[in-house]
């Protein structure tokens, strides 16, 4: 599902005449198989979020190559990657990234509108995914009227509504309390088992890391360890 080869990235800092390179990732090689849950752990500043942003096309690598679902996306333009994300990826964020002026239903429906799905199919798919995440009765509620766990479920529903084969999650439980975190992690495992969705999850939380089939550790921009989670 994801293949990364010799991936490196640096940022340039300082004034134009005195720019220096700040290395963030160095020679990363990574394979994520279809149907896996892979968790990436590391301290703040280790490079794990940069890795996620490179894989999702929000920033371009300095060096290396990226394949997603057997398609090389390394040299995609911004527009090409935006179209690719719409069809191949879903996203779950720490702070939910819901549009506050839209109801739960409207937030979930939005990717379908952007993808040109007709109104009848949009309604069927949005209602079905609301039921899947246990929020059928909350479709007309705005984000401010939902708990943190419910908002994150709306975020997951939005990520799933186009049936993407891959979901990228950036600290998905960072804004949740312990009990709600446990419920969400169980739900992610359920979705992975029932729908076969591949998850790549960035986290610093050991509890989150444990749900993965594999865990990967990044420190100072280098891949230190990849193996089975005990």
Distance separating alpha carbons of residues 55 and 68, to the nearest angstrom: 8
pLDDT digits 0-9 by tens, 167-214: 999 888 877 777 778 888 888 898 889 888 899 999 888 888 888 889
Distance separating alpha carbons of residues 159 and 168, to the nearest angstrom: 9
Which pair of structure tokens corresponds to residue 132? 């899947």
pTM for the model stands at 0.84
pLDDT digits 0-9 by tens, 31-50: 999 999 999 998 888 888 89
Phi-psi region of 35 (alpha: psi -120 to 50; beta: other; left: phi over 0): left
Please give the CATH topology (third level) of the domain spanning 33-61+76-228: Rossmann fold (3.40.50)
Burial of 203 (0-12, 13-18, 19+ CB in 10 A): buried
**Domain segments of the chain: what residues?**
33-61+76-228
Enumerate the β-bridge partners of residue 90: 167
Q: Which helix (H) or strand (E) holds 4?
A: strand 2-13
């Amino acid at each position: 599902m994801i293949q990364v080869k010799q991936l490196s990235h640096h940022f340039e800092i300082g004034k134009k005449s005195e720019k220096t390179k700040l290395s963030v990732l160095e020679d990363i090689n990574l394979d994520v198989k279809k149907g896996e849950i892979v968790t990436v752990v590391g301290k703040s500043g280790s490079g794990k979020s940069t890795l996620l942003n490179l894989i999702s096309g929000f920033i371009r690598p300095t060096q290396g190559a990226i394949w997603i679902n057997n398609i090389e996306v390394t040299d995609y333009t911004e527009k090409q990657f935006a179209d690719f994300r719409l069809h191949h990826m879903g996203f779950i964020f720490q702070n939910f990234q819901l549009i506050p002026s839209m109801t739960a239903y409207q937030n979930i429906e939005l990717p379908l509108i952007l993808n040109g799905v007709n109104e009848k199919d949009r309604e069927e798919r949005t209602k079905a995914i609301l039921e899947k995440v246990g929020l059928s009765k909350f479709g007309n509620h705005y984000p401010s009227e939902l708990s943190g766990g419910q908002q994150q479920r709306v975020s997951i529903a939005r990520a799933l509504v186009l049936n993407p084969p891959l979901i990228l999650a950036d600290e998905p439980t960072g804004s949740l309390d312990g009990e709600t975190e446990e419920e969400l992690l169980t739900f992610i495992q359920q979705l992975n088992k029932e729908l076969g969705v591949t998850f790549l999850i960035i986290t610093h939380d050991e509890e989150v890391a444990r749900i993965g089939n594999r865990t990967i550790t990044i420190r100072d921009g280098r891949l230190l360890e990849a193996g089975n989670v005990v």
